[in-house]
Amino acid sequence: MSARQARSYVSLYKVLEPCAGGSPHPESEKRSAMAGSVSWFPQSGKLKFAVRLMFLWVLLLALPDGTGAQQNFPPPEFESGYNLPVATFQLFHAGAMPYLDVLLLVLALAAASWFLHKIRSRKGVLILGLVCLAYFGFYRKGCICPVGSVQNMFLGVLDSSFPVSIPVALVFLTPLVFALVFGRVFCGAVCPLGMVQDIVIFKPLRVPLWIEKPLSLLRFVYLGLALFLVLSSRRFIICEFDPFVGFFRMNGFAWKQILGGLLLLLGLFVARPYCRYLCPYGALLSLPSRASNVKVRITPDSCIRCGLCEPKCPFGAIRPPQEESVASTRIQRLSIVASIVVPVGLGGVGYYLLNRSVAGALLGLWVGFVVSVRLMELIYFGRRTTFDADPSSCLACARCFRWCPKDRAYREREGKSVQ
């Protein structure tokens, strides 16, 4: 380890130490006291942690990585005639372009958060989404893709011979961190896969909740299957079956373009079907967004419970008011038993059906765990007094704002245009 890296890691420890529960460094206390006098400095613990993570990324960008590594010595010559095998992993391009893409991704996510939570502008979210579709989709050929980076990160953790560069890691982590603080802003305005579906929404049908909930589990099943194939055969099926990359690159297999066309055709009436039912990265984003510090607020003021927003959400993500309820004792016992039996049973099925492999058992356990979590949600329903956007299902499109009478009155009072 070089002296530069050692100094950087020491600085990183000093910054992140308070988040880990340790005693703060004196310099950290001094910085906190100075920051406390500034009104815009984030006071929430999650926001502070996000700021520290941003500092970590800036720090990592200053460190050398393996993307530009070259072979300094010629390969050895073997008397037996043995030849070194050709590397099969993806070679990452050296240079500043990957870091520029990461910077643009961070700026786009920050702008999406601003339009959604501060300006409350559907027009701003839409224009930003079209710009991101043009750049990340058509100009960069869909390669700056957090959706596919799930596989790179998973294989990089399992196999040390598979290099994962810093830009790839940042592309994977950045939307997750923003989801933890601001919700699924990546889905709403930055993801090209989502925006290419968003612009074709015509007359979206309302999918009943009892159908929507089970279908949304397919994302987690697809995620588990993709990681299983990475573990067992090094296949990247998320990229292999990307339905829209053929449009971005203007080439590819005909069946892939047909698949993308069928999804867009379905998207005329079922809004963004790939995002809601198949996207594995969307499944990951739905987890931290549940605990997001800044949630999508349909109204800028108190909700009057008029109900105008609920039928206008094309994704069925708005939940009406409800009273607190607890399932009967019998339902509770059945759900608890099923939450234990289902993962174990599916783990055994996966083990025997997939060549008695540990990876097959893990896939079965994962699917069983996802089903068990949904079963446990049937036990308790919390009290909700207003119409709220479900943070795990809301795609942060800002369509619901214009239907709120309080939002309209707020814009007229502030002299802003009514969207």
For residues 343-370, give the mean pLDDT. 91
Query: What residues contact 140, with CB distance under 8 A and at least 6 apart?
Result: 101
Asked whether 324 and 381 are in contact (CB, 8 A), the reply is: yes
Q: Quick check: 292 and 181 in contact, CB under 8 A?
A: yes
Per-residue model confidence as pLDDT tens digits over 78-106: 555 656 555 444 444 557 888 999 999 99
Q: Which of 363, 337, 370 shows the shortest CA–CA distance to 349?
A: 363
* Mean of pLDDT over the chain: 81
Distance CA 366, CA 225 (A): 9
Q: How high is the pLDDT of residue 80? A: 59
- Looking at residue 333, its pLDDT comes to 87
Q: How far apart are CA 19 and CA 340, in angstroms?
A: 34
* Displacement of CA 21 from its chain's centroid (Å): 27
What share of the chain in percent tops pLDDT 70?
77
Residue 38 has pLDDT above 90, yes or no: no
d(CA 239, CA 50): 29
Among the ranges 67-71, 257-261, 324-328, 331-335, which has the highest mean pLDDT value? 257-261
**pLDDT tens across 378-392, in order?**
788 888 999 999 999
Of 14-18, 142-146, 265-269, give the range with the top mean pLDDT.
265-269
Phi, psi of 318 (to 5 degrees): -95, 125
Q: What is the end-to-end Cα distance of the chain in Å, rounded?
A: 55
Q: What is the per-residue pLDDT for 50? A: 56
pLDDT at 418: 62
User: Contact 149/238 with Cβ under 8 angstroms?
Assistant: no
Give the distance, in angstroms, between the CA of residue 148 and the centroid of all CA atoms in the same chain. Answer: 11
The yes-or-no verdict on residue 365 having pLDDT over 90 is yes
What's the pTM?
A: 0.77
C-alpha–C-alpha distance, residues 347 and 364, integer Å: 4
Residues 273-290 as b/e (b if ≥16 CB within 10 A, e otherwise) read: bbbbbbbbbbbbbbebbe
> Which pLDDT tens digit goes with each residue over 137-189?
999 998 888 999 999 999 988 888 888 889 999 999 999 999 999 999 999 99
Q: Which residue has better confidence, 205 or 409?
A: 205
User: Region 300-310: what's the mean pLDDT?
Assistant: 91
Q: 109 or 332: whose pLDDT is higher?
A: 109
SS3 221: helix
The answer to whether 128 and 187 are in contact (CB under 8 A) is no
Check: CB of residue 144 under 8 Å from CB of residue 101.
yes
391-412 average pLDDT score: 91
User: What pLDDT is recorded for position 67?
Assistant: 42
Angle at 100 between CA 147 and CA 130, to 5 degrees: 60
Contact 67, 166 (CB under 8 A): yes
φ, ψ (nearest 5 deg) of residue 326? -125, 135
**What integer pLDDT is reported at residue 411 of this predicted model?**
80
pLDDT of residue 329: 85
pLDDT, tens digit, 9 for 90 and up, residues 48-72? 555 555 545 544 444 434 444 444 4
Q: What is the pLDDT of residue 6?
A: 47
The Cα 69–Cα 92 span in angstroms is 10
In this structure, what are the phi and psi dihedrals at residue 325, rounded to the nearest 5 degrees?
-145, 145
Residue 36 — pLDDT band, cuts 50, 70, 90? very low
Residues in the chain: 419
Residue 230's pLDDT is 92
Report which DSSP code applies to 323.
-
Instruction: Read off the pLDDT of each residue in 191-207 and give the average, rounded to a whole number.
Output: 95
CB proximity list for 348: less than 8 A, separation 6 or greater: 361, 364
Instruction: Indicate the domain borders of the chain.
Output: 325-381
DSSP string across 165-190:
-HHHHHHHHHHHHHHHHH-SHIIIII
Q: What's the pLDDT score for residue 277? A: 97
Q: Which of 16, 23, 11 is nearest to 49 (CA)?
A: 16
Distance CA(342)–CA(272), nearest Å, equals: 30
Residue 326, classed as helix, strand or coil, is: strand
Structural tokens at position 59: 């720090």
Residues 211-247: pLDDT tens digits? 999 999 999 999 999 999 998 888 999 999 999 999 9
pLDDT computed for residue 76 by the predictor: 55
